[in-house]
Structure 1
Amino acid sequence: MDVPISLCRVQSNRTHSGYVADGLPWVAQKTVQRIDQLEKDARATQADYDAGNDDNYNAGICGVYDGLRATVERAVEEWVFRGVVVRHRDYINLKDLRLVAAVTVTHCERLQKLFQRCCEITQAHDRSGLRSFGVPRPDEALADLAELRAVVEELKNLQKAIPT
């Protein structure tokens, strides 16, 4: 008899604990899972964009880019450095070092371009009210997410081709 398995987590809020939620928390998700979630979040901003609810839209799309910035960092750990170097870990894992050879200057430039775009959009910086600044449209956010997914897929395929 097969028993279905589902991934859940127990979480808490400010006043209670013991809530069961589906899936992994953001901090534990891999790059592709994060991209999937961010694509859903970007699509969810479309209604506010279409309705001209600019404050809500700006908050939503900036949240997508905050998450994209963190996901680019995760992609660098997971796919560029293949877990060889991970922040806050006490050791270097050399068993997959050869896979780092798949990374090209073009991959680095594409990731840097995405990261810079995220840094320009993030709410972590207070922008001057005099500076003309428009946030990306939902389709532009989806294109940026597709670009990160494409870099990850390219690296994955190149790394698979490296002999073990």
Structure 2
Amino acid sequence: MEPWPVYPGEELVRDVRILYSDIRATVEKVVEDVVLNGVITRFSDMVGVGNLHKITGLRKQDADDIVILWKKGHRMTEAHLQAMNKDMPVAGLEEIKTDVASIQLLVDNVNKYRAKPAEA
């Protein structure tokens, strides 16, 4: 994507929207695998109640960061009809890099600050 043009063309705008669709899906997967520690799996009827002890200590800041990234991905994606956002400019290259890096930082923070599960 470098060098980033002053006025991104339609193809680049579409590519960025697809990227943010992937970011949104990645955030959802982080919630499933890291935050909920595999206890709840999307598109499954099963809840791993026996593993509930694995879900501990999510900080408010991490929860807020999840919502911010997810909403941004939701807003930027083409997966939903959003006529009011049709002409909304997409993120620039530095913002994209920051958002992608934020996903790894989020995972690192959840793992770092997670309270240790109680011993059974």
Please give the range of the TM-score, normalised by the shorter of the 2 chains. Answer: 0.7 to 0.9
Alignment CA distance shift 1:75-1:132 (3 Å): same
- Does 1:108 find its partner at 2:59? no
Tell me if structure 2 keeps the 8 A contact 1:84–1:94. yes
* TM-score after normalising by structure 1: 0.62
Runs of 5+ unmatched residues, structure 1: 1-44
CA contact (8 A) 1:77 1:85 kept: yes
Letter in 2 for 1:83: G
Question: What secondary structure, in the 3-state scheme, does the structure 1 residue paired with 2:55 have?
Answer: helix
| Residue from 21, 42, 60 that aligns with 1:87 | 42
Instruction: Kindly tell me the number of residue pairs found equivalent between the two proteins.
Output: 117
Q: Distance in 1 between matches of 2:71 and 2:33?
A: 19
Structure 1 residue corresponding to 2:83, chosen from 119, 127, 132: 127
**Structure having greater relative contact order (Cα 8 Å, sep ≥ 6):** 2
Matches of 2:31 and 2:110, distance apart in 1? 11
Q: Aligned to 1:162, which of 97, 110, 116? A: 116
Aligned-pair Cα RMSD in Å: 2.3
Question: Among the aligned pairs, what percent are the same residue?
Answer: 21
Partner of 2:17: 62
Deviation for aligned residue 1:158 = 3.0
Which has the larger share of strand?
A: 1
Q: Give the unaligned 5+ runs of structure 2.
A: none
Rounded Cα–Cα distance in structure 1 between residues aligned with 2:109 and 2:8: 37
Number of the residue aligned with 1:145: 100
